[in-house]
Every structure is written in structure tokens, then in C-alpha cells.
Amino acid sequence: MKLVKKLFKWLLYILLIPVTYGIVSLILTTITVNGKADDTVLDKTIYLNTNGVHLDIVIPKKELDNLFLSDIKHNTTEHYLAFGWGDENFYLNTPTWDDLTFSTAFKAMFLKSTTLVHVTRYRQKHPDWVEVNLSASELQKLNTYLLNTFETDENGMKTILKNKGYTIIDDFYRAKGSYSCFNTCNSWVNTAFKQSGLKACLWTPFDFGLMNKYK
């Protein structure tokens, strides 16, 4: 009987961890940082895109630094680039949610791992993208944040993973940082907004946190 009580007690402790994580995450997601001054000139536009779970930052190619674009695969007919960040194993082995396994999810959330930047190229703006207006200085800070996410070789060049994209319009590049339940693909986007001076969540692992602040 004592053993059953102990097992039940430990089960409650184990269940308390994800419940606490979820509650704290939701609370911090609702807290907004970086309010705008009334005189801020918002003459630039970027976009947020989600697949229902994972956020991308979409930027018109003309708004990206030449240095930034110099070693990113693209052509003249593609006018928008979307940037996402995440766990390498998750990205490469989970092209669809049907491919997700417990092992892949556990390793991504709790074990130190290598990461990738996912770059998707678009010819035109999609109607489901959420518009974000920002100033020129905020856009420059965002450029810098994204540029600093890429891991570079000894010559300062971004490292592309050849023939690893899901389609003909996307590619993966080596990235800095390690993915975890506290540093997710969506918190990476949120941090990009925070460091650029854009309205953001205090912290969030979810895609809807930022999306709701700009819809």
C-alpha cells in the first residue's frame, strides 16, 4: 500500500512539470514588451507565417542587406525569404507531423543538439501572412539578429546543407545555438522581435503568442 502511494505521489510530481510549464508559458505569452512611441515612423513591412505550430519571419528580399544575401541561395523571381530556426534532427527527420516520433521530440526538447536555419523562398506574398510594420532601424536590427544566427565557416560563409530541403524552394543552413523546451523555434522568433525593438511576448514557446499581437 505504501509503495502504491509513493508511486502515485511521484506520478503527480511528474505530471506537475508539464502542467506548470504550460501555465507559466501562457502567462508570459500574454505579457507584452516593447510598446511603440507615437512618433515612430513605421515605413517598412515584414510578415509572420505559421504552419499551425512553427513560426517563420518573412522579409521582402529588397529589405535584406547585400551582405546577408550574398551566400543565400535565391534567384531574381523570388521576392520574399522566410526564416525559421530549430533542432537539426527534428527538421531533417520530421518533414511532416506524421513523421514525428517520441524519440525525436524528446531529444529536441531536452538534449543539447545542433540547429539549423530554414530558409524558404517565395515569389509573391501569401494572403495568410500577418503583416508587421516597423521602422528602418528596427529592420536593421532584425537583419543583424538573423545574420548572427547563421554559423559560418573559416571564410565567413554560411554553410548550406546540399539537397536537404523539403522542396525546390527551401534550404537548410548551419545555425548557432541549441534547441530546448526553453529555447524553441517560436521563442527564437520572439527573441528576434524583442532584440529588434518590436512588440513581442515577454517569453513564449508558442506560435500564437506573436501572431495574436499583430492580427
Q: Mind listing the pLDDT tens digit for each residue in 160-192? A: 999 999 999 999 999 999 999 899 999 999 999
Cell of 193: 522581435
**pLDDT class of 103 with cuts at 50, 70, 90:** low
Residue 109 has pLDDT above 80, yes or no: no
pLDDT in tens, 133-160: 999 999 999 999 999 999 999 999 999 9
End-to-end Cα distance, the chain: 54
List, in sequence order, every residue forming a beta bridge with 96; answer none if it has no partner: none
Q: Is the dihedral of CA 68, 72, 76, 78 positive or negative?
A: negative
| 113: confidence class by pLDDT, cuts 50, 70, 90 | confident
Q: What is the pLDDT of residues 8-45, one digit of tens each?
A: 555 655 666 777 888 999 999 999 999 776 667 899 99
Which pLDDT belongs to residue 17? 75
- Mean pLDDT computed over 78-101: 81
What pLDDT is recorded for position 8? 57
Predicted TM-score (pTM) of the model is: 0.87
Task: Tell me the pLDDT of the chain averaged across its residues.
Answer: 88
Residue 207 identity (one-letter amino acid): D
pLDDT given for residue 39 in this prediction: 65
In this predicted structure, the answer to whether residue 106 has a pLDDT above a threshold of 60 is: no
